[in-house]
Each structure stands twice: as structure tokens, then as C-alpha cells.
Copies of this chain bind each other. A is one copy, B any other.
Amino acid sequence: MTLNPADDAFAETLAAELPDNSLRRAEPRYLEEPRGRWHGSSGWVALPRSADEAARILRACNAARVGVVPFGGGTGLVGGQVAPDTPAPLIVSLQRMSAIRAVYPQENVLVAEAGAVLASVQEAAREAGRLFPLSLASEGTARIGGLLSTNAGGVNVLRYGNARDQVLGLEAVLPDGTVWNGLKRLRKDNTGYDLRHLLLGAEGTLGLITAASLKLAPVPASVGTAFFTVESPAAALALLALARDQLGEGISAFELISRQGLDFLTEKLPEVRQPWPAAPEWCVLIELGLARGLDPASALETLFETALDEELVSDAIVAQSEQQRTEFWAVRERIPEGNKAIGAISSHDISVPLGAIPEFIERGAPLIAGLGDFRINCFGHLGDGNLHYNVFPAPGKRREDHVNQREEIKRTVHDLVHAYGGSVSAEHGIGRLKVEDLERYGDPAKLAAMRAIKAALDPAGIMNPGAVLRG
């Protein structure tokens, strides 16, 4: 099925059905993505102000067989936000739908439009004395619609789940231009198939999310943050199990950091303050959020002492102030920046079953070494079994020297992940970057079902063409 371009004639017809200034020519920022691997074809951007306007836009696109690329904050890392290989699509930006429609503190619910920036949703929750727990590096730019469409992860998944787990209801426009008014605020609703979870994580290929009712959580009464130095990933995992036994659901984050990542920071971002005299081989950033009546400092001390007895840790530094806490988190959150400055040959957002992590890391290193002289920075959300496993050139070499090895490295890492029953896209999604990976590693029955669902809900194939499934 061939799509038609969103050309000037189409734009003119569509503009007539919408309020003034609803369409504009696509500026460069709508045609780029952070990795710089794809550039969208030039064309038009539509900027709806309501679900009804979004519906009119999709109806027109469906009738004219014009592709639609939903656009949020543009921070996605797998190219889901730009369509380079199809006739110029209509980009539909949700930026004008950025309202917090309502907050219900007693219900622990907030209703946000898809264009709301994550930080502003967090802020609205905070003002109501509640927590919206989704948290990730791009939270000042990423918008709710994109975060939900990609089922974003981040640092608090261990405790609160992925983006999809924060959603009670959705308002969305389906590919045929009908509006699904599914903005329920219910914790229990068993009336038919869960269309919500189908759109969540579908990366805009099954419909356009325009608003969501989101769960809020209680704000922990107190927070404690510390770096624990551990011998190995296996020790880190044993520490996590110990922490869970002692603290139950009180662990909000559990991030693994390797010396390689710290060395990159030292080299490229020396202004990032590292709290050790010498960078440890492996360490864990642990954050507790505890209920009233519990003291994080003493909980961390108890955890450290037990872990020391069990020879899991050798050192711990507990943040003594909010400023130090911010500094600790900066170490973790600026690692991707350090990586970028060095220049990864191949980056992998993978997950394996928690218990398999130590073996995965142990087996990965010699496999990569077998391909050449590389450096590995393996770090991430250990509590979720989600690692960012990035491969860099040896000192003195550049990523450009290894371009022709990228595929081989990627294949090696992904094959190993697959052998452990893992995922080759833990939190970033498929987008355009991993369409082939999905075909290679995906379960055939699931893939067939996905294709059948796509064809059923979007028979003209207009929604985000080429993302997730080959067009």
C-alpha cells in the first residue's frame, strides 16, 4: 500500500477544516532526532489544540492515505519520531495540548494532555502533595504522549513500574479518526479488551494519544541516597536482594555504575564531582524512599553493615545533604553525556532476567574482545535487569574507525541477550532503529499477531509508517 505525501494541496485542504494557524511548514527540529541517524522528509506540521481537532486531522489523513508521525518532545532514541523513507508524512505535534486538565489528590490521580512536559506533570503532582514517579534524564523536554507511546522507563521502575503502569485511562484518536474517550480514573475496570495497554508502547503506530489519566503515589516521608562500592555485578545483585529483604518496597532506585563510565566522566566532564578518591571498579547508587517513622541514614547503615559482613561491599558513602544527593545523581545521569563525548560505536539498551546479569556481563566482555580492542561501559537500572551496554573504541581510536564493525558488535551483544531470554529493547522501544532486531529476535506468533492487529486498526497504514513494523 503506497502512501501519499502531505503536500501543499493536502495541507491546504486540511487547513480549511481546522482553526487558523493549525498547520505550519516543518521546521528542522521536527525532522531530526538525537542520534542524528535519520532525517525526516520536509513537509507540514499540524498542531491540534484538542482531541476533536486531532480527530479531524487523522480523518483527513486516513481518507487521503497520508502518513502521520506523532511528535512529542522529540527525545526518543530509536528514531520513532522521524519518517525518512516514506512520502513526506504529516507531523502531528501535541505541543499545544499541554494542559494539566485536573488533579485529584484524594484519588491520587492527575489528568494530563499528551503535550505536557514530564517535569511539569511531576511539578503538578508535587504541588498536590503527591509523587508522579516517572523520572528520566530527558524529563525537562520529553512529553507525556511520547513517554506513554514508548512506555518509557527510567530510574524508578524498580519501585513504581514502567510508564504503562502509571496509566489509568487514555483519550486517543484511532487511525480512522474516531476518538476513544477512555479517560477513566478507575483502579478496576474489566469491561473488555485493554485497549489502553495496546496503545501504550505502540509508538504511535496504532493511534494518537491525546491525554491520559495518571496514577500518583504518596511522597515518601524521607529519602536516603548512597553509593555502595561492590566487588562485582554478582555482589551488586546480592546486595539488591539483601536490601529488599531489609527494606521491602522502600528501594526507589538501584543503579549500577562501572569504572569505565566514571573514567569517561573524568576525561570528558571533569566538572562532575565524583565522591571517591579513586573510581571503584563497580558501584551502586541506591536511593531509599521510606515511610514515616523510618530513618534512611540508619537503614543505609544497617544495610551496609550486613552487606559488609557478607562481603558484598567494601565501602559506602551516604549523601549528607540535598546538595550531595544531587551531586550523586549527577554522576549517574551524566554518564550518557560522557559516553556521547567519547563516541560509542554501538549502544545497546538491553535487559536480561535479573539472575542472569552477572553471567551476561562476564560472558559479554571476552566476546567483544574477540572482535577487536574495545572498551565497554556497562551501566544502568540493575534493579530492573536493564543495562545500557555500550561499546567504545580503544583510547586513541575513534568511532569512525570502526563503522564497519558496528553491525557485528550489535549482533554479538543482541545474540547473547537473546540467549538469556532477554530483550534487545528494554526501555527505548523499536522505533526505526530496531525493526530488524524485532524481526530477528521477536517471537513469530507474536509478530504475526502484531501485524494482524496493525492491519485491523490501521488498514491504510497511515500511523507512523515504518516504525515498529516494516511498512
Contacts and interface: CB of A to CB of B under 8 A. Distances in A.
Q: Which of A109, A153, A191, A194 has the most CB of B within 10 A?
A: A191
Contact of A221 (B217, B241, B248, B446): B248
A271 interface: no
A178 B452 CA distance: 14
Nearest to A164: B194
Interface stretch (A93-101, A291-299, A327-335): A291-299
Contacts of A157: 187-188
B195 A381 contact: no
A206 B193 contact: yes
A218 B248 contact: yes
A450 interface: yes
A443 interface: yes
A178 B446 CA distance: 9
A174 B220 CA distance: 43
A444 interface: yes
Interface string A183-194: 011111111111
Contacts of A191: 423-425, 430, 434, 437-438, 441-442
State the copy count for this chain.
2
A353 interface: yes
A192 B384 contact: no
Contact of A193 (B198, B244, B445): B198
Interface size class of A (residues with CB under 8 A): 35 or more
B178 A444 contact: yes
A341 interface: no
Nearest to A290: B291
Interface stretch (A260-268, A391-399, A404-412, A453-461): A453-461
B438 A107 contact: no
A386 interface: yes
Contacts of A429: 190
Given A291-B248, A351-B189, A423 B184 contact: yes
A247 interface: yes
A104 interface: yes
A197 to B, nearest CB: 3
A423 B291 contact: no
Nearest to A251: B218
Interface string A155-167: 0011001101100
Given A108-B244, A164-B197, A191-B424, 20 more contacts: A105-B241, A106-B237, A107-B353, A150-B190, A174-B445, A184-B353, A186-B421, A186-B426, A190-B430, A191-B438, A192-B201, A192-B442, A193-B201, A193-B202, A194-B197, A197-B198, A221-B248, A250-B291, A294-B294, A449-B457
27 contacts: A104-B355, A153-B188, A157-B188, A164-B194, A181-B445, A182-B443, A186-B385, A187-B351, A187-B354, A187-B383, A187-B386, A188-B384, A188-B386, A189-B425, A191-B430, A191-B438, A192-B201, A193-B453, A194-B198, A194-B201, A197-B198, A218-B244, A220-B248, A248-B292, A294-B294, A452-B456, A455-B456
